[in-house]
Amino acid sequence: MTTAAHRTTFDSLNPRTGDVVATYPVHTADDVALAVARAREAADWWVEIGFEGRKEQLNRWKGVITRRINQLAQIVHDETGKPHGDALLEAVLGIDHLAWAASHARKVLGTRRVSPGLIMANQAATLRYHPLGVVGVIGPWNYPVFTPMGSIAYALAAGNAVVFKPSEYTPGVGAWLASTFEEAVGRPVLQVVTGLGPTGAALCTSGVNKVAFTGSTATGKRVMAACAETLTPVVIEAGGKDAFIVDADADLDAAADAAAWGSFANAGQTCVGVERIYVHKDVYDPFLEKLVAKALSLTANDSDDAQIGPITMPSQLGIIKRHIDDAIARGGRAVVGGPDAVGERWVQPTVLVDVPEDSVAVTEETFGPTVTVARVDSMDDAVEKANATRYALAATVFSKRHGVEIADRVRSGMAAVNGIITFAGVPTLPFGGVGESGFGRIHGPDGLREFTYAKSITRQRMKPLLALTTFARTKTAESQLTQLMTLLHGRGGTIDPK
Ligand code: NAD
């Protein structure tokens, strides 16, 4: 959204060089209110055109994004510092989710008849899902396309208008998404407001009908508190401390490769990234050797073909350093990297072993290219340690025979077996966490329903057999009801008289 006079602006910086990428307005509470009012007007049209109309419009937007995918990847690269190929990959996933949401909204949310049951057999019962109105989306910087698209695409496909507040580290990505939408659709059904925390806070209290927040757990709590004032519902997609479990029968080459990607890709700045590895004692040594070899083959630097980019948010460098220092001060060892791995902008891959389970390197989200590796006696031990966290976002398990069984025992919203972060690329699967990783779901049918309210309608088809909800109800009707209930539900749990 661009409005006339803005008192202040802020710069989006390239984390590889510190150069200014572009300058954006700090939108005030008044600007946010204006965007929400415009969105509310546009929402009327958006609802009116129905599922098919919205699908057509969203597919048009999808076409524009896809044809200019390299331009989008370049902005992501410039603003986050991540390799161009990684930026491309996240844009691809974002497009795939947009396509899925657009083409499945009618099937998931359209009117359907449901069985009225025996007691209400004279009624026709229908269920449909109505859009909420205007959804406020607040996004992070680490996956500035894929992450907000999980809310934006699903909220739009469900019939809502969206006001999006991207992270102050990636405003250009948000502005690009809104301008391509404007070009494809020509109405302010998706708008962007830019700014820092206060702009996001203003969106929470602007009268939007739901807030979809993705970011840190601490900010998620503030968002929820602000929304509580007006009983505005929220989806919270927050931080994680994901575990990676290696069973004795795992393919160790594949496991080490996946663990390295999960821990170090995007410089470890991934909500569903790997932060803790638990390895069965029988394969601990060979697994660690393979992981170390992988880690040593990677460097974070500013060359164009670097596999690991810089730390996007400079303040994170101190947190990463504190976690490594704490691990080492408490008896841990760095078998790759260590305290010196933390530079001015780049952090080199770091593998920590023998770290006590109550070190902050194990208990708090590090959000850097570091990982702890611990030996476990059994898969029970691995599951217990994986679950000893206040976070519960995702998990990975490598096991030939028991992967799904182990994955199911880990308390997390998602899990990948013998692969890494694979669930995020399956649009039909809901995405979200438990505990301090948040609640609510984006993606899949649950992600569409998240941005709607259920509307239940009963229509009387014929007079009821038993007239019960009238002051003319008879004793006979009551006793017939009792008989019917005994017939239907009276069999279970009878007590043996002897
Ligand atoms: P953050 O919490 O600092 O910021 C997220 C967004 O909230 C930004 O747009 C910011 O401007 C805004 N904000 C800040 N204060 C606000 C306030 N008081 N009210 C409303 N909005 C406010 O998070 P971040 O550093 O941008 O992102 C990294 C975090 O996001 C990590 O913890 C990561 O795990 C998490 N994350 C989670 C998921 C997920 O799906 N669960 C996905 C990506 C990132």
Separation of CA 107 and ligand 1 centre (Å): 32
Q: Dig out the tokens for 214 from the structure.
A: 């993705």
CA 163 from centre of chain = 18
Sign of torsion over alpha carbons 184, 188, 189, 191: positive
Separation of CA 106 and ligand 1 centre (Å): 31
Asked about 52 being catalytic, the answer comes back as: no
- 348-to-240, 297, 387, 465, 479 alpha-carbon distances in Å: 21, 11, 28, 75, 77
Separation of CA 139 and ligand 1 centre (Å): 6
pLDDT for position 303: 86
Helix (H, G, I), strand (E, B) or coil at 430: coil
End-to-end, the C-alpha distance of the chain in Å comes to 77
Q: Dig out the tokens for 324 from the structure.
A: 């490594």
Task: Name the residue of 76, 137, 138, 320 whose CB sits within 8 Å of the most ligand 1 atoms, as the mutation to test its pocket.
Answer: 138
CA-to-CA distance for 88 and 79, rounded, in angstroms? 14
Rounded to the nearest 10 degrees, how much is the dihedral formed by the CA atoms of 385, 389, 395, 396? -30
Judge contact between 27 and 1, C-beta under 8 A.
yes
Q: Residue 442 gets which letter from DSSP?
A: B
pLDDT for position 2: 47
pLDDT for position 497: 63
CA-to-CA distance for 174 and 179, rounded, in angstroms? 9
Q: Dig out the tokens for 201 from the structure.
A: 């806070």
Confirm or reject: Cβ of 140 under 6 Å from ligand 1: yes
Q: Going residue by residue through the chain (498 aa), what tens digit of pLDDT does each one get?
A: 545 455 699 999 999 999 999 999 999 999 999 999 999 999 999 999 999 999 999 999 999 999 999 999 999 999 999 999 999 999 999 999 999 999 999 999 999 999 999 899 999 999 999 999 999 999 999 999 999 999 999 999 999 999 999 999 999 999 999 999 999 999 999 999 999 999 999 999 999 999 999 999 999 999 999 999 999 999 999 999 999 999 999 999 999 999 999 999 999 999 999 999 999 999 999 999 999 999 999 999 988 778 999 999 999 999 999 999 999 999 999 999 999 999 999 999 999 999 999 999 999 999 999 999 999 999 999 999 999 999 999 999 999 999 999 999 999 999 999 999 999 999 999 999 999 999 999 999 999 999 999 999 999 999 998 899 999 999 999 999 999 999 989 987 766 666
Confirm or reject: Cβ of 143 under 6 Å from ligand 1: yes
Beta bridge partner(s), residue 415: 395
Catalytic residue (choose from 204, 271, 275, 364): 271
Sign of torsion over alpha carbons 308, 310, 316, 321: positive
Confirm or reject: Cβ of 271 under 6 Å from ligand 1: yes
Instruction: Count the Cβ atoms, other than its own, within 10 Å of residue 419.
Output: 15
pLDDT for position 218: 97
CA-to-CA distance for 47 and 455, rounded, in angstroms? 15
Judge contact between 301 and 346, C-beta under 8 A.
yes
pLDDT for position 306: 86
- 492-to-95, 482, 487 alpha-carbon distances in Å: 51, 16, 11
Find the length of the chain. 498
Helix (H, G, I), strand (E, B) or coil at 34: helix
CA-to-CA distance for 15 and 85, rounded, in angstroms? 17
Q: Residue 423 gets which letter from DSSP?
A: G
Of residues 36, 22, 64, the one with CA closest to residue 186: 64
Separation of CA 373 and ligand 1 centre (Å): 27
Protein residue with its CA nearest to atom 26 in ligand 1? 140
SS in 3 state form for 186-225? CCCCEEECCCCHHHHHHHHCCCCCEEEEECCHHHHHHHHH
pTM for this entry: 0.95
Question: Which domains, and CATH codes, for the chain?
Answer: 2-237+444-453 (3.40.605.10), 243-419 (3.40.309.10)
Judge contact between 77 and 87, C-beta under 8 A.
yes
CA-to-CA distance for 361 and 73, rounded, in angstroms? 32
pLDDT for position 491: 87
Asked about 271 being catalytic, the answer comes back as: yes
Judge contact between 42 and 189, C-beta under 8 A.
yes
For 32-122, strand residue ranges (E) read 112-114
